[in-house]
Chains A and B, each alone.
Chain A
Amino acid sequence: DAGITQSPRYKITETGRQVTLMCHQTWSHSYMFWYRQDLGHGLRLIYYSAAADITDKGEVPDGYVVSRSKTENFPLTLESATRSQTSVYFCASSLAAGGPKTQYFGPGTRLLVL
C-alpha cells in the first residue's frame, strides 16, 4: 500500500528554470491538493483538483501550473522558478464522499531556488 508519494524529495534549481514536482496516489482519491509550507505561514493551498481534467486555483497560485490527466497523478510545475518559491511542497489527496474529507499528505518536497 504505497499511499501518496512525491518526487523528488529534494530539489535544487536556479532562478528561471522550469521545475516539475510529481505527486502520485494509489487510493483512487478524487481530490488532490498542492500546498506550500513556509516559516510563519503554515500551509497554504496552491492548486487543487476535484477529478481528472478538473483543476482550480487556491490561495497562492501565481507562478505555478498544474495538470491532471490521470486520477492518480497531479504534477505541479514552476514555469520559471523564483527565489520566493523556495519552500516545502506538500501534495495531499482525499475522497469526495460524505463526511469530513480527511486529507492524506505525501512526505513533501524541499525545493531550493538559487
Chain B
Amino acid sequence: AQTVTQSQPEMSVQEAETVTLSCTYDTSESDYYLFWYKQPPSRQMILVIRQEAYKQQNATENRFSVNFQKAAKSFSLKISDSQLGDAAMYFCASQKGAGSYQLTFGKGTKLSVIP
C-alpha cells in the first residue's frame, strides 16, 4: 500500500515571497508517479505539477517546482513569487505505475497568502 504524509497542516507566506510545502511518501513500487493538486475555496481539484519517479530532473511549471528526493521519498513543492490566488489547500498524491492508477492523497496543507 502507498501512504502519503503532509506534515504541515497550515502554512502562510507573504505575497511575492517563496514557500515550500513538504510531502513524504512510502511505496514498494518501482514504477510510480507523484502529483500536487491545488484546491481553492471553490473546491475544484486542479493539477499543479506531476513527476515521474524514473526521471531525476525535477519538474517545473512556471512558478511551481518540486524537489524530488527519491532515496528519501520526499516530494516538496516550491511556490515562487507567491500570489494571492495561490491561497488554497494543496494535496500531495502518489500513483502506482500500473494497476488501478488510483491516487493516494495526503491530508493536505492549507496555504494562506498575506498581502
Q: Do A and B bind each other?
A: yes
By a beta-carbon cutoff of 8 Å, the part of chain A in contact with chain B is 31, 33, 35, 40-45, 48, 50, 56, 58, 88, 90, 92, 94, 96, 99-105, 107-108
Q: B33 touching A42 by the CB < 8 A rule?
A: no
User: In the bound complex, how far is the Cα of B63 from the Cα of A88, in angstroms?
Assistant: 30
Which of A41, A58, A90, A105 is most buried by chain B, counting CB atoms within 10 A of its CB? A105
User: In the bound complex, how far is the Cα of B108 from the Cα of A86, in angstroms?
Assistant: 20
User: In the bound complex, how far is the Cα of B44 from the Cα of A96, in angstroms?
Assistant: 23
Q: B residues within 8 A CB of A96?
A: 101
Q: A102 touching B105 by the CB < 8 A rule?
A: no
Q: A90 touching B33 by the CB < 8 A rule?
A: no
Q: Is B68 an interface residue, CB under 8 A from the partner?
A: no
* Interface residues of chain A: helix, strand, loop or mixed (majority): strand
Q: B44 touching A107 by the CB < 8 A rule?
A: yes
Q: B103 touching A45 by the CB < 8 A rule?
A: yes
Stretch from B12-20, B45-53, B72-80 forming part of the interface with A: B45-53
Q: A residues within 8 A CB of B95?
A: 100-101
User: In the bound complex, how far is the Cα of B103 from the Cα of A96, in angstroms?
Assistant: 14
Assuming the A-B contacts A43-B91, A107-B44, A108-B44, are A100 and B50 also in contact, with contact meaning beta carbons closer than 8 angstroms in the complex?
yes
Q: B52 touching A42 by the CB < 8 A rule?
A: no
**Smallest Cβ-Cβ distance to B106: which chain A residue:** A42
